[in-house]
Chains A and B, each alone.
Chain A
Amino acid sequence: AQSVTQPDIHITVSEGASLELRCNYSYGATPYLFWYVQSPGQGLQLLLKYFSGDTLVQGIKGFEAEFKRSQSSFNLRKPSVHWSDAAEYFCATRSNDYKLSFGAGTTVTVRA
């Protein structure tokens, strides 16, 4: 079965600093990969997705992610974090029947 692993449970970053969130996937073929963000008590908002093609994908809110097949990774990055980026971030992969499998999430805290 397809799955993703997010090794970092919690990350604290200073406002204005760069952010990188790790995601590793397990799947033989080229996976469909997603990053979602969730603010407290809210639903999930899609940041970006990778289906095929260019391995560096741009998303909303200044986020980008890079698909690296050799490392089975799809890490999320942002060059300069804003206080409003404090949230929980989920990496997910999708099977051929459209079900999403999520990682456990990484909570991002932004300090002033």
Chain B
Amino acid sequence: DTGVSQDPRHKITKRGQNVTFRCDPISEHNRLYWYRQTLGQGPEFLTYFQNEAQLEKSRLLSDRFSAERPKGSFSTLEIQRTEQGDSAMYLCASSLGGQNTEAFFGQGTRLTVV
């Protein structure tokens, strides 16, 4: 399978714990995006990378959130001191850099904070 893959698919954690999610983009894609989707809503942009550079972060991304993309390949999204409000689906997408391109999404990581 050469699509975008995310790991884990599901994560249940206790409030206050740290969690880390991984995203492996399509190999030739230089852009990588993270989105968050809560129940009944469309995905909301969190952050994106071009190669290893993080170019923009949404105001939704509090100080407890950090994302990395070392070497411009896979990316990790870490949430520290999780809160119940962090419960959501975290979606990763990747794309080529041109104007006439589209983003391909992974299956997502469903986070439940109890």
Contacts and interface: CB of A to CB of B under 8 A. Distances in A.
Q: How large is the interface on B (under 10, 10 to 19, 20 to 34, 35 or more residues)?
A: 20 to 34
B91 A43 contact: yes
A3 B97 CA distance: 22
Interface in A8-56: 32, 34, 36, 41-46, 49, 51
B42 A99 contact: no
- Tell which of A41, A49, A100, A103 has the most Cβ of chain B within 10 Å: A100
A101 B60 CA distance: 14
Contacts of A97: 55-56
Interface residues of A, number: 22
Interface string B12-51: 0000000000000000000101010000111111001000
Given A46-B102, A49-B102, A99-B48, A41 B42 contact: no
A59 to B, nearest CB: 11
A102 B100 contact: no
Contacts of A32: 99
Contacts of B54: none
A99 B57 CA distance: 11
A101 B44 CA distance: 7
A103 B42 CA distance: 6
A51 B99 contact: yes
B104 interface: yes
Contacts of A51: 99-100
Given A49-B102, A105-B40, 9 more contacts: A32-B99, A43-B91, A44-B43, A97-B56, A99-B45, A100-B35, A102-B44, A103-B42, A104-B41
Q: Closest 9 interchain pairs by CB?
A: A102-B42, A44-B105, A43-B105, A43-B107, A99-B45, A43-B108, A51-B100, A102-B43, A90-B42
9 contacts: A42-B108, A90-B42, A90-B43, A99-B45, A99-B56, A100-B43, A104-B40, A104-B41, A105-B40
Interface of B: 4, 6, 31, 33, 35, 40-45, 48, 55-56, 91, 93, 95, 97, 99-100, 102-108, 110
